[in-house]
Structure 1
Amino acid sequence: MKQVFTIQKILNNNVVIAYNNIYKEVVLIGNGLGFNRKKGDLVPFDEADKTFLLTDEKEMEQYVNLLPYIEEKLISFIHELLLFIEEKMEKELNEHIHVALTDHIAFAINRAKKDIQFSNPFLFEIESLYPKEYSVAKDVVQKVETQTDVLFPEGEIGFIALHIHSAVTDKSLRDINRYHSLLSKLVTIIQDSLDIRLEKNNIDYHRLIQHLHRAIDRADKGTPVGEENKLAAMLKNEYPICYNLAWKLIKVMQNQLNKPVDESEVMYLTIHLQRLTHKF
């Protein structure tokens, strides 16, 4: 049975507020959805090639309040970008990306037109941790530049990649940025403690941040990694500096996340740290 919505208000040619017995009041977003329609008209949900549905009250309110500040043709273009992202990621997008990405791209265009430059300190890490999202974000930036005739700084690819990652994993940008901030802190501690400078294009650095990110994620979710007492004892004896540093990193994670971290993480961190000193 097809979902049918009754239009309550037309916001523009592509966005309408509608009502449905199942979803109640929603925002429907689709190319040409509001064109030649009026209040009380019925809209089949699958009428457009793809119609997005906003059901969260807070997201709806934020999106509706955002619309007056954005050109209608840009709203339509961003809708096409979201379709492109969903197709490339092969996953349904969390509805919060409609507000977040619309807001981000609109202001990013304004910044670019004013030639406001900035850097993204986590650009390498974002590409390393989320390669698919980064690749899709690169295509999105290219499409925006072609459409608007403005040039984005490279850092925008990273920020858009984070929005995509957030939308396909249902993680909030706040949590994702919290992970990255902690990751950066751990890397700084490692460099200072071992008196080394990590080269970002080095495979060992790539492996380290991959592992730290997974360790943070496991700790945040309370996922155990198992226990190997004999291996732990061997690592403690053979590589005491890296073993003690691994414990220090675990303590920092615990304090930042305010959650316990599985002690078995120490073993894996010790191995990665030892690789960095080229003595393993």
Structure 2
Amino acid sequence: MHITKILNNSLVLAKDTTENEMILMGKGIGHKHTIGYELKKEEIEKIFVLHDETMKRNIIQLAAEIDEVYFNIAQTIIDYAITKYNMKLMNHIYLALTDHIAFAVKRFKSNIVIENNYLLEIKDFNPNEYDIGIYALRIINESLNLELPQEECINIAGHFINAQQDNPYSEKNKKISKIIKDILGIVHYHFAIIYDENSFYYKRFITHLKAFAQRFLNNQPSKEQVDFIYEQIRTNCSAEYECVKKINTYIYNEYSRNLPIQEELYLMIHIHKILGELQENI
């Protein structure tokens, strides 16, 4: 393959022996060589086959507008994901991530903050992608001498979730995530509390909600006999029971099914423990 146009130090436009046009990525690939140079295989890190003029135009525009440092940072992060987790990624991640990083830095320098409320969900359901996001944030901050907020690691994790050829973030995971978030919201507003996300009982509650949502969506109710203790807890924890009634209404409105009494029982117990822990810390 020979170079037909140098886009930046890391990207070149090239043609193969049958005159098919493509974009080639490689560290220093555009700095070392001139137009017409026959590239060696080991110099090429990534090949983007150009299926249409729109894709070609977009890549060329991106290369012209964005400093090559962002391409190199994106490449480092992607290499980490592939090496550590053996991820099979679609080609668009290279350009999408580069563009995202450049725009995130621009937002940060302009004091524009975009909140991301999915830290908990991503951390719990997509630990590999979350780890990549944490690594990416460190690389970006160290390379550019910045302090991008932690929320940015979630945005980057999202790119890797969506770019995987065997995307693990299934519809069921999305439903589980929504159930957890909505139940946390119901408890929060019912008792007007602020969670201590580092507390023991909060983490236990999250673990329980995840298991509950999985059981509920898989239609696998517990067969435990809890009638006697259920009545005791409902009597002794009347405030918690009122909150669970709201959760039951939410579940019914969403899925046209009521909560089994076993699930009501465990929710009351977990909510009671969270309230007790918060009371102790006042």
TM-score by length of 1: 0.66
Question: 182, 199, 206: which is aligned to 2:203?
Answer: 206
Question: 220, 227, 232: which is aligned to 1:226?
Answer: 220
Q: Does 1:81 align with 2:82?
A: no
Q: For structure 1, which segment, 166-175 or 140-149, has the greater mean C-alpha deviation from structure 2 after superposition?
A: 166-175
Q: Which runs of 5+ in 1 are unaligned?
A: 255-259
**Which of the pair has more CA radius of gyration?**
2
Match of residue 247 from structure 1: 248
SS in 2 for 1:158: helix
- 1:13–1:32: 8 Å Cα contact kept in structure 2? yes
> Number of matched residues?
263
2:25 partner letter? I
Distance 1:214 1:40 in 2: 58
Alpha-carbon shift at residue 75 of structure 1 (Å): 1.5
1:198-253 superposed Cα distances (whole Å, 9 cap, x missing partner): 3222233334445555776888xxx624244555877875666376444334245x
Q: 1:243 to 1:187 in 2, by over 3 A?
A: closer
Alpha-carbon shift at residue 191 of structure 1 (Å): 2.5
Distance 2:273 2:36 in 1: 70
- 1:51-66 equivalences under 5 Å are 51=46, 53=48, 63-66=59-62
The two structures, once aligned, show a CA RMSD in angstroms of 4.7
Match of residue 63 from structure 2: 67
- 2:212–2:263: 8 Å Cα contact kept in structure 1? no
Aligned-residue identity in percent: 22
2:104 partner letter? A
Distance 1:269 1:12 in 2: 60
1:99 partner letter? L
Q: 1:49 to 1:25 in 2, by over 3 A?
A: closer
Q: For structure 1, which segment, 12-21 or 109-118, has the greater mean C-alpha deviation from structure 2 after superposition?
A: 12-21
- 1:96–1:167: 8 Å Cα contact kept in structure 2? yes
Alpha-carbon shift at residue 10 of structure 1 (Å): 5.1
Match of residue 270 from structure 2: 275
- 2:195–2:202: 8 Å Cα contact kept in structure 1? yes
Q: Does 1:191 align with 2:188?
A: yes
Alpha-carbon shift at residue 145 of structure 1 (Å): 1.7
- 1:40-189 equivalences under 5 Å are 44=41, 47-48=42-43, 50-51=45-46, 53=48, 63-117=59-113, 119-168=115-164, 170=167, 183-189=180-186
Distance 1:210 1:53 in 2: 42
1:122-150 superposed Cα distances (whole Å, 9 cap, x missing partner): 43554344444333322322221221122
1:173-205 superposed Cα distances (whole Å, 9 cap, x missing partner): 999889766653332123234665432222333
Distance 1:120 1:261 in 2: 30
Q: 1:154 to 1:243 in 2, by over 3 A?
A: closer
Alpha-carbon shift at residue 96 of structure 1 (Å): 3.6
- 2:70–2:101: 8 Å Cα contact kept in structure 1? no
TM-score by length of 2: 0.65
- 1:166–1:173: 8 Å Cα contact kept in structure 2? no
2:248 partner letter? W
Match of residue 29 from structure 1: 25
Distance 2:169 2:184 in 1: 23
Q: 1:227 to 1:117 in 2, by over 3 A?
A: closer
Distance 2:190 2:156 in 1: 33
